[in-house]
Structure 1
Amino acid sequence: MDREVVIVGAGPAGIATAACLNLHSIPNIVLEKEDCLGSLWKKNSYDCLNLHLGKRFCQLPHLALPRHAPNFISKADFIKYLDEYAEKFRITPKYQTCVKSAFYDKESMTWHVVACNGATGKTEEYLPRFLVVATGENAEGVIPQVPGLHTFQGEVIHSYFYKSGEKYNDKRVLVVGCGNSGMEIAHNLATHGAKTSIVVRNPLHIMTKEQIFLGMKLVQYLPFELVDTIIVTMARFTFGDLSNYGIVRPKDGPLVLKARSGRSAVLDVGTVQKIKNGEIKVYGPVSSVEENNVLFMDGKSEPFDAIIFATGYKSTANKWLEDGNETLDEDGFPKKGFPNQWKGSNGLYCAGFARRGLAGISMDAINIANDIKKAYK
């Protein structure tokens, strides 16, 4: 099948890129291995999830979120927005189509994309001039290697599969990972009566959503370092010194840290208060597991009924992209740093790898479509 552009992935990055291409009347097709668009949001995100940033930083190109919507919108409202976005820009992904390989043919100057149609079982081939990798940063959950984890007799899952704390009432649950997902899951577990603990391995910033929202507005006019000083001072006033609970702040401020490393501040949903009142216990790094007991680096040991790993995700692009070595590193992320990470070589593009959330996705989609338009004849 001949298309000018093949987009792999029908998450926000894929449909945003398709929308921008459609506005330029450039033929494209979106291939999606699942049976719906935005599958990570629809199938593999916990029920209590809300967007962490204000809606002005979470909308896709050429369609604003509704004015009447709250500033921090819910998962359900964002899913509705994604569906309306696809309908408005006439995006019809080809579902249950899993890309198995893609390589660049120098003679024809086209990409050779091989996919399997899950509905028919047949192999399909596409020969586009341009290929957009939009499978995202969060394609597959990562569970680190922990000595003895295989001996654990309780439940072990990645946060990718967590939905609600209802079934964990009165169970001893350890959440490994203290990013936004880990902290929100810990709060949700404690709210549902679980005996909750969380592992905090590294320094982290804990802020309110309003503080980060203010910071993102101020940084448009003031230096990052100055804005960080302002919002960190506000956070200290809000939360106090958390070092007695095993939580310390990094040396760099939250906005500088995000720009340099992609690490986000934790936006508190009430977890800090539950830590302070003892509903959630904080532990340091895990050293090993022995059946139901988890051993920690400081020598402590506690029994648990379940372990939930909120330990991040990885890209899967390297599993099927055969000629991406010039563009992607061994972890499947662009070698180029922001703001040039979206463009590779030979008509290869990356959408949604900026580590800057939905705002980064929007920038990628616009840049990719404009660049393809220049080459399109």
Structure 2
Amino acid sequence: MENVVVLIIGVGPAGLATAACLSQLSFPYVIVERESCSVSLWRNHAYDRLKLHLAKEFWKNYSRMNVLVVGSGNSGMEIAYDLAAHGAYTSIIIRSPIHVMTKELIRLGMTLAPRLPLNLVDNLLVMEANLIFGDLLMHGIRRPKMGPMILKSETGRSVVIDVGTVGLIKKGIIKVQGSISKIMGDIVEFQCSNKISFDAILFAIGYKSTTNIWLKNGENMLNGNGLPIKEYLNHWKGGNGLYCAGLGRRGLAGIVADAKNSANDIKSVIDAMSS
């Protein structure tokens, strides 16, 4: 059995970022992947219109079918748009408050954030979004009390980048539904007591980490859902030489930060042992 100093599990974005950071420090590592390629999720399980959010799998013929999308993050909103664009009678569950922005507004916010207070940047972004989209409350879309940049910084929740979904909602092409009370076969009962029959229900409500299935003795770092126990900023380091990159749910920027922190800490620990 070969002895290695650093073992990276997974050749996804987080694994590749960590490998790159270790390479910059001229530190050796071994990286393993169960699939036959790197970034297999994006290469093999995403369709052509991928915006770094969507999983494949469901692109069957849903034309003229009554379809419900559960989840109003970027994935859910994009899936709803594509379903409606391909002729499905589409409804979407929007239960939690969300910030809807354009790519241009996000780019503006990222440009201004290092130079101005975040609350000032947020006020500007929300004002511009209201001018672009109008009052979305009447269409079932509520904005969070916390501004988009502060919300991302403090909770990790991302804004929804509109790809045309809001326009279809405002036209009534995509129907917004409230919270689900129960699902009985193809009948969905909502908390408002309405009951609607759907031909298909698509869930876009995130994922659960499978790390705990194969990682043993990692309880000091991960909770029962396979996510870090420690709060953000300190979440990436566990005991017994364990590190995690990307599990802080802070997107690509969070992956980069985790990879840099992990690589630097590994090098400092090994250097201290060698001195």
Please indicate the TM-score interval, normalised by the length of the shorter structure: over 0.9
Matched residue, 1:19: 20
Distance 1:163 1:307, change over 3 A: closer
The corresponding residue for 1:50 is 51
User: Of 350, 356, 361, which aligns to 2:244?
Assistant: 350
Task: Compute the TM-score of the two structures, normalised by the length of structure 2.
Answer: 0.93
Q: C-alpha separation between the residues in 2 aligned to 1:307 and 1:46?
A: 19
SS in structure 2 of the partner of residue 344 of structure 1:
coil
How far the C-alpha of 1:326 sits from its partner, in A, is 1.7
Q: Is the partner of 2:61 in helix, strand or coil?
A: helix
In structure 1, what residue type is equivalent to 2:34?
A: K
Q: Which residue matches 1:194? A: 88
Distance 1:212 1:339 in 2: 23
Deviation at 1:240, TM superposition (A): 0.7
Identity of aligned residues (%): 53
| Bigger mean CA deviation after superposition, 235-244 or 23-32 | 23-32
For the residue of structure 2 that corresponds to 1:274, the secondary structure is: helix
Q: Which residue of 2 aligns with 1:36?
A: 37
Residue correspondences, number: 270
Per the alignment, do residues 6 and 211 of structure 1 end up closer, same or farther by CA in structure 2, a change over 3 Å counting?
same
Q: 2:139 aligned with 1:245, yes or no?
A: yes
Q: Is the 8 A contact 2:94 2:141 kept in 1?
A: yes
Deviation at 1:204, TM superposition (A): 1.0
SS in 2 for 1:175: strand
Structure 1 residue 163 displacement after superposition: 5.1
Q: Distance in 2 between matches of 1:160 and 1:296?
A: 26
* Structure 2, unaligned runs of 5 or more: none
Kept after mapping to 2: 8 A contact 1:16/1:362: yes
1:212 aligns with 2:106: yes
- Cα 1:290/1:329, change in 2 over 3 Å: closer
Q: What secondary structure does 1:272 align onto?
A: helix
Once the two structures are superposed, the pairs formed by residues 96-175 of structure 1 within 5 Å of their partners are 160-162=55-57, 164=59, 167-175=61-69
> What does the per-residue CA deviation read over 1:39-61, in whole Å, with 9 as the maximum and x for residues that have no partner?
12122334312248xxxxxxxxx
Report SS of the residue matched to 2:151.
Answer: helix
| Residues 228, 235 of structure 2: 8 Å contact kept | yes
Runs of 4+ in 1 over 3 A off after TM superposition: 159-164
Are 1:4 and 1:26, in contact at CA under 8 Å, matched by a contact in 2?
A: no
Q: Note if 1:9 corresponds to 2:10.
A: yes
Q: Which residue does the alignment assign to 2:255?
A: 361
User: Any conservation in 2 of the 1:46–1:163 contact (CA below 8 Å)?
Assistant: no
Q: Which residue of 1 aligns with 2:235?
A: 341
What is aligned with 1:277? 171
Asked if the contact 2:227–2:248 (Cα under 8 Å) also holds between the matched residues in 1, the reply is no
TM-score relative to the length of structure 1: 0.68
Aligned counterpart for 1:184 among listed residues 66, 78, 102: 78
Asked whether the equivalents of residues 181 and 191 of structure 2 are also in contact (C-alpha less than 8 Å), the reply is: yes
Give the structure with the higher percent helix. 2
What is the SS of the residue equivalent to 1:168?
coil
Asked if the contact 1:10–1:38 (Cα under 8 Å) also holds between the matched residues in 2, the reply is yes
Could you say what secondary structure the match of 1:2 adopts? coil
Give the residue type in structure 1 aligned to 2:48.
Answer: D
Pick closer, same or farther for the CA change 1:289–1:39 going to 2, 3 Å: same
How far apart in 2 are the matches of 1:260 and 1:163?
33
| 1:236-315 alignment runs, 5 A limit | 236-315=130-209
